[in-house]
Each structure stands twice: as C-alpha cells, then as structure tokens.
Amino acid sequence: MPNKSAKHTVYMPILTNEKGFTFIIALAMIAILVMTLPFLSYTIRIVHPNTSYDELSVNEFYRFIRDELIQTHTFSVIDNKLYLLQEKERVSVISKYNDQIRRQVDNKGHEIYLRDVAAADFIENDYGIKIVITNKKGTTYERTFSFYNEK
C-alpha cells in the first residue's frame, strides 16, 4: 500500500509572491477615489439642501394679501394696520402681532399669515399699498399691490 495514487483536486494555489499585486491594487484604489471625488460635492448638496423657506413663506403671505385685496371694496392703513372692507360689510384687519402677522375678521379670531417677523410696515400710496417685511434674520422683502376697486 505504500504506492497509493494521490487524488487530484482542483484548487487555487496561494501565491507566495504578492509584491507587485499590492502595488496594482493601490493604483486602482487611487484611480477609483479620483474618479468619485467630483461626485462628493453633489452628495453633500443632496444631504444639506439649500432651502429658501423664508422666501417661500413671505411669497405665500403676499399671495394671501393679493387674494384679500381682490375681495376688498376699500382699504386703509391706520396705526400700521391694514384694514380691508370686504363683502357683507366685513372688516378684515391684517397687522403685526408679537413676531407674527395675523388676520382678524371683525376683531374676532386669530389667523396667522406669517411667523418670525421682526418688522412689518404697511404703506398706503395713491394707487395701492406697499408692504415691507423684515424677518428675524434681517432679510427685507417688499412688494407693492395695485388696488383697482373703487376707493
């Protein structure tokens, strides 16, 4: 039995000389890193999007004012409060209250139109009204609305 034949199996022999192999892997890793670095700035923008929440909320407030002015017969500004006379003799008052701009109808209720307001100025002019809003971050927004109904 000393002359037994050895079984032949299929396997991958372990390389004993890997010096050149690690250098090629290092070069490949550097090439992959250099190719993916430009995409890193895009992923950072996705993770931290540049939101314009303040601008959107002020524009939405101006849209509310526009809709109110469409339904208004006459308006006036008294003590930096905007008084709007609407249908059925309703009086809608838009004013700054603490750090918010609110709307009240016939001195009842409390509807918040805008938050985080540092200053709000309602300026009446010959053809309409100018509204200047300054938020707590110091950004100032202003818009002029033309009033076409009889005054």
- Provide the mean pLDDT of the chain: 86
What residues make up the domain containing 59? 53-146
d(CA 65, CA 148) in angstroms, rounded, equals: 14
Q: State pLDDT tens for residues 85-140.
A: 998 889 999 999 999 999 999 989 889 999 999 999 999 998 899 999 999 999 99
To the question of pTM greater than 0.85 for the whole model, the response is no
Do 79 and 73 contact (CB within 8 A), yes or no?
Answer: no
Q: Is residue 23 part of a domain?
A: no
Q: Is residue 75 part of a domain?
A: yes
Q: Is residue 7 part of a domain?
A: no
Question: Which phi-psi region, left, alpha or beta, contains residue 90 (left: φ > 0; alpha: ψ -120 to 50)?
Answer: beta
Q: Is residue 91 part of a domain?
A: yes
Q: Which helix (H) or strand (E) holds 94?
A: strand 91-97
Q: Is residue 107 part of a domain?
A: yes
How many folded domains does the chain comprise?
Answer: 1
Q: Is residue 103 part of a domain?
A: yes
d(CA 81, CA 120) in angstroms, rounded, equals: 9
d(CA 72, CA 70) in angstroms, rounded, equals: 6
